[in-house]
Structure 1
């Protein structure tokens, strides 16, 4: 019996396959662009490696695209066939089962399988990271933290994934608002694993949530090697840097990063679309002309209206469609979200809450019907974490809600949300908050605010 780099029994028979598998897992932990190629090498060497096929299917599901679900199902079929042809371990069989329930519409069921794997194999960093990734999609911040913290004692200083585990812990700490601990854990992660882009980005999140953009820029500047090797996650780290420039009022720097890094490759990956659409929306809320940048995004999003894998993706597609004033595509997407909200599946419940109200609010905001926008967005607000993503990513919906309230004249309600937002961000006032407080004061007759962002 051979063992992988995390000291887990593995049903691979050839040393070169084990080596490629170890590199695949480490690549996944580091968000490395080369990971799919490495996995392909494993399956070429040993095509009956069921765990490899199961992980391949999981990678496809995590991409959140309707047309790739069939590819993921084919990987599951191949994995089940491989189980009959090889001596897979019980741990490996559990991965195949996890993919199966995930494909059946129960991502929380897949999480339960990963947790069962970690019960018996806490040092299995692959299960740890998949659990973390899926909980992130589900918006389960407290679950992310619980899962990581219960296996922390099993990761000694000689464990090959200790740095990556600390990076996941840092992010979970930040998402549960333990900002000081999160920064310490993220820095430790990068010391141990210099290519841990997740840990590096967790510290960037801390600076975002504590209204310290200047310190955030200082943290990211000079550490580009920590994310240069990444897949499209590298665009997200550049997005964080752009947010910091935006908070400092440096719009030219934001637009430059948008053009040269964030959308340097005009992909249709929903994560890249969410980076771009949310950044353009933030810019427009500050009264900054983004030119024709909505057009490229809306062309892509008009072709994604029937997707329906993730409400997080759908809402960002909708943002592009309303940003570019495409009522036909907007209506198609709204109708599909409403239809999916009637289903009984787990993700369908998220289409229902917060999806329907949030989508209607975004449509109304794009049409300058600010009272309706505020009513719907405020109604969706309590459930927005169920849409998945991070506090920083979902903050664009907070900003739109607050701005809709101000524009509709609901100053007290908008201020209450602004107060709540600030309380959740270490009680500190960022550039957005300061500008909106000035707008509210102006609306109450406090002082002239002609230099503040235009509607």
Structure 2
């Protein structure tokens, strides 16, 4: 049996197969576009490699698409035929895939954590635990998991740079911004293709309202993400956010057209980049032309998905905002229906909370019923992290809540949200928040002057 690059024993016997498996794992850690290519080649040669089939199924589940569940089940079925001859740690990966397909990703994470208890230097288990927790919005769990296994990573461990990149992101999402930036920079120094660590530092600059420093960080480091799968579009999205905060809308639209939507996919991660960016632009009063039409056509075909509430809410951004009333109503009703029969299914539980309130809020926002939009969106705020994603990604819903409240005249409530947003960012404020505070001050000043008695 051959050991992998991280020192973990595998059931593979041929060194050529072990070499391919190493390429798969390093590709996953670096978000390489070549990772599925290497995995396909490996499984052609070793179709009954249980760990490889389980990894394939887990990767498919991370795509967050209903139609990917069938091939993920096929991968599980193949893995189970080799279950008895697989190594104990390999079986835990198979168990994790089975549990996620049963609608219990939190239990799947527990199986990966069981791998890490016995093999804390297993970098694939480390990365997959973080990836699923990210989908669940469990940033505290991400950080605990990483910090438990850090002592197993010697300076020469092949996965140490990627571990630091994951740690940097978990630190940022839990509010430790200074340490996150230092750790992310170290990650990229150790693993120059660690796009995750690079983007963790970009998140720090977003959360601390320092767009200029964020642009300086990304400038000239394109090689760190140019090799990536569609994750590269997300890094360009971060760059666009920085330009937006600086009021450079032409640069934002140029990045949108030539990088972020370079490929017109309907992958939910690409859709979330695009819809959230266009909505931010519109909230700033920037005309976006016909760019919504392409997105709304794609999202109209995703109304029945229901794999992830995070994806569904971004589909709704394109539908509700473009006046696609029939598709919007259908999707809102489907989210409500899914939530009513959640049971032990965690995706449907998140349809219930925060999904129902958030979906109704987006529908109302599209109808320009801002008072109702504010009521629903502000109700969803307390549990929006359960929708998954990052603070930066969820911030589009926070901005819509704030702007709905402004348009509905709920100035005191909006001020409280802005104060909470500032506290989450360690006391920092971006130009978006400063502009809204100025609007509130102007409205309050006008109201006070109008209430003065005439002389």
1:82 to partner: Cα distance: 2.5
CA distance in 2, matches of 1:323, 1:200: 32
Please name the residue that 1:78 is paired with: 78
Question: Is 1:68 aligned to residue 68 of structure 2?
Answer: yes
1:271 to 253, 269, 272: 269
User: Gaps spanning 5+ residues in structure 2: where?
Assistant: 448-455
1:394 to partner: Cα distance: 0.4
Aligned counterparts, 1:17-56, within 5 A: 17-56=17-56
CA distance in 2, matches of 1:446, 1:90: 70
Q: 1:228–1:234: 8 Å Cα contact kept in structure 2?
A: yes
Please name the residue that 1:450 is paired with: none
1:334 to partner: Cα distance: 0.4
Deviations 1:241-283 (A, max 9, x none): 0000000000000000000000010001000000000000000
2:158 to 160, 167, 175: 160
CA distance in 2, matches of 1:147, 1:83: 26
CA distance in 2, matches of 1:89, 1:215: 47
Please name the residue that 2:431 is paired with: 431
CA distance in 2, matches of 1:317, 1:298: 8
Please name the residue that 1:173 is paired with: 171
Please name the residue that 1:146 is paired with: 144
CA distance in 1, matches of 2:79, 2:315: 33
Please name the residue that 1:15 is paired with: 15
Please name the residue that 2:5 is paired with: 5
Please name the residue that 2:396 is paired with: 396
Report the secondary structure of 1:426's partner residue: coil
CA distance in 2, matches of 1:79, 1:71: 12
CA distance in 2, matches of 1:446, 1:37: 62
Aligned counterparts, 1:51-450, within 5 A: 51-84=51-84, 87-342=85-340, 343-344=342-343, 345-445=345-445
Report the secondary structure of 2:158's partner residue: coil
1:422 to partner: Cα distance: 1.1
Q: Normalising by structure 2, what TM-score? A: 0.97
Please name the residue that 2:452 is paired with: none
Please name the residue that 2:450 is paired with: none
1:446 to partner: Cα distance: 5.1
Report the secondary structure of 1:395's partner residue: helix
Report the secondary structure of 1:2's partner residue: coil
Report the secondary structure of 2:151's partner residue: helix
CA distance in 2, matches of 1:424, 1:185: 20
Number of residue pairs the alignment of both structures matches? 446
CA distance in 1, matches of 2:96, 2:426: 37
User: Gaps spanning 5+ residues in structure 1: where?
Assistant: 448-455
Please name the residue that 1:452 is paired with: none
Report the secondary structure of 2:82's partner residue: helix
1:428 to partner: Cα distance: 1.5
Report the secondary structure of 1:13's partner residue: coil
CA distance in 2, matches of 1:424, 1:346: 26
Q: 1:20–1:39: 8 Å Cα contact kept in structure 2?
A: yes
Q: Normalising by structure 1, what TM-score? A: 0.97
Q: 1:354–1:384: 8 Å Cα contact kept in structure 2?
A: yes
Deviations 1:390-414 (A, max 9, x none): 0000000110000000000000001
Q: 1:17–1:41: 8 Å Cα contact kept in structure 2?
A: no
Report the secondary structure of 1:9's partner residue: coil
Q: 1:166–1:188: 8 Å Cα contact kept in structure 2?
A: yes
Deviations 1:330-359 (A, max 9, x none): 011001100011121111110000000000
1:441 to partner: Cα distance: 1.2
CA distance in 2, matches of 1:48, 1:5: 21
1:434 to partner: Cα distance: 1.1
CA distance in 2, matches of 1:68, 1:202: 28
Deviations 1:10-45 (A, max 9, x none): 010111100000010000000000100000111112
Q: 1:306–1:333: 8 Å Cα contact kept in structure 2?
A: yes
CA distance in 2, matches of 1:73, 1:443: 56
1:81 to partner: Cα distance: 1.1
1:429 to partner: Cα distance: 2.0
